[in-house]
Amino acid sequence: MFHKLDEVEAHFQDIEVRLTSPAIASNQSLCQKLSKEHSNLQPLVQTYREYRKLRTDFSANEILIREDSGELKQMALEENSFLEAEIAKLERRLKILLLPKDPNDDKNIMLEIRPAAGGDEAGIFAGDLFKMYSKFAESKRWNIEVMEITSNDVGGFKEIILMIRGDKVYSVLKYESGVHRVQRVPKTETQGRIHTSTVTVAIMPEAEDVEVNIDPNELRIDVFRSSGPGGQSVNTTDSAVRVTHIPSGIVCVCRDEKSQHKNKAKALKVLKTRLLDMKRGEQHAKISADRLSQVGSGERSEKIRTYNFPQGRVTDHRIGFTIHQIDSFMSGDIDPMISSLLAFYESEALKKQTAS
């Protein structure tokens, strides 16, 4: 491991030197590529340097302990007790940082929210999740673009599709895919009974043009006039666009923009991302279960999380983690849950690597 870390540090230093070169600075594409690589390697190199320093301090104290019998020896013993624990933490962190990276971690995402079981209440909760993820994205200074949003007649939604762009968005939100269950008294309930409803959330890495090639002859594109709730007219021109990918049967509709051209571009972006997600799903299906967990594959496992409003708690069933501040959670304060999920799956990956 340490030989590999020395190589990584040498490469990191080489990048730093190259970035100071006028020739690199004038090549914007190469400069951006090197800067991104430098940024990605920085946490690993900084952790390794801190680890090495602590090891040096520990070794120096070992000399004092062997050669001194007075107060300095006692101080060195106490400091080494502390250093030993810190070195163990950093060594574990280095092993995690050296784990193979998900190639999609740096990507933007397509976030899809759809009501499942529960009728109108599921549609209302879909809107609540939309607000929750939007506020969380804003706290991260990510950019949110509405690709498609279809409301129902009771203040909820039939479908919400967002593009979220920012720093390592997929790496942060990739474990949010799945069935989210809500237990509460719905606004539409007159008897005060608690209902259980479900909403599906899909997190898909944004597809780039080089990853998905679409034959225009395999597309059927229809345009129509967009309408709002109750059939009221939104636009006076046929600006809404429906794109159907004939081989897969995937249909993407975009009507949020007043421009037919912009709606078509959005629909094609959604289509490419769904096709890439389908391709990834086919690849994952070929990998044996002992090498890839269901969540790691991005499959939509049933009931990953429960939002229990009467008890004021949110529980993630995959890791057995519960948060009791449901109001702040629904206001976008989901970092503790995200951090716990990432720590759990990092630990699982480290176990598998150690066992192999």
User: Count of alpha carbons within 13 Å of 122, Cβ hemisphere only?
Assistant: 18
The sign one gets for the Cα dihedral 280, 144, 234, 150 is: positive
pLDDT at residue 285, rounded to an integer? 61
Query: Where is the domain boundary, 255, 283, 311?
Result: 283
Domain boundary among 77, 97, 117: 97
Give the model confidence (pLDDT) of 299-321 as tens digits.
Answer: 334 689 999 999 999 999 999 99
- CATH number, domain with residue 258: 3.30.160.20
The two structure tokens encoding residue 267: 């629909």
Cα(174)–Cα(108) distance, integer angstroms: 11
Q: How would you class 198 by CB atoms within 10 Å of its CB: exposed for 0-12, middle for 13-18, buried for 19 or more? A: buried
Q: Say whether both 300 and 198 belong to one domain.
A: yes
- Same domain for 197 and 305, yes or no, is yes
Give domain status of residue 104, yes or no. no
Q: Which of 328, 268, 356, 292 is nearest to 132 (CA)?
A: 328
Q: Is residue 12 located within the same domain as residue 159? A: no
CA neighbor of 206 nearest in space, from 104, 297, 284: 104
Q: Which of 283, 313, 335 is the last residue of a domain?
A: 283
In the block, residue with structure tokens 């950019």: 143
Residue at 15 is within a domain: yes
CATH code for the domain in which residue 26 is found? 1.20.58
- Residue 259 resides in a domain: yes
Same-domain pairing of 328 and 189: yes
10 Å Cβ neighbour count for 224? Answer: 13
Tell me the C-alpha distance between 242 and 226, whole Å.
11
- Are 165 and 305 in the same domain? yes
290 part of a folded domain: no
Parent domain of 113: 109-207+296-351
Residue 82 reports pLDDT greater than 60: yes
189 and 303 within one domain: yes
Mean pLDDT value across the chain = 84
Question: Is 168 found in the same domain as 130?
Answer: yes
Residue 191 has pLDDT above 70, yes or no: yes
Number of structural domains in the chain: 3
Does this model's pTM top 0.85? Answer: no
Q: What is the pLDDT, as a whole number, of residue 221?
A: 85
Q: 38 in a domain, yes or no?
A: yes
Helix (H/G/I), strand (E/B), else coil: 245:
strand
Instruction: Identify whether residues 346 and 269 lie together within a single domain.
Output: no
Asked if residues 180 and 127 have their Cβ atoms less than 8 Å apart, the reply is: no
The pLDDT score that the predictor gives to residue 227 is 60
Cβ(149)–Cβ(240) below 8 Å: no
- pLDDT tens column, 231-283: 444 555 677 888 898 888 888 888 777 778 888 888 888 888 888 888 777 65
Closest C-alpha to 319, from 333, 331, 300, 336: 336
Please indicate, yes or no, whether residues 118 and 264 belong to a single structural domain of this protein. Answer: no
Instruction: Provide the CATH number for the domain around residue 131.
Output: 3.30.70.1660
Whether residues 137 and 224 fall in one domain: no
Position 237 in a domain: yes
Residue 326 lies inside a defined structural domain of this protein: yes
Asked whether residue 245 falls in the same domain as residue 189, the answer is no
Q: Do 13 and 51 reside in the same domain of the chain? A: yes
- 40 located within any domain: yes
Quick: pLDDT tens for 130-156: 999 999 999 999 999 888 888 887 778
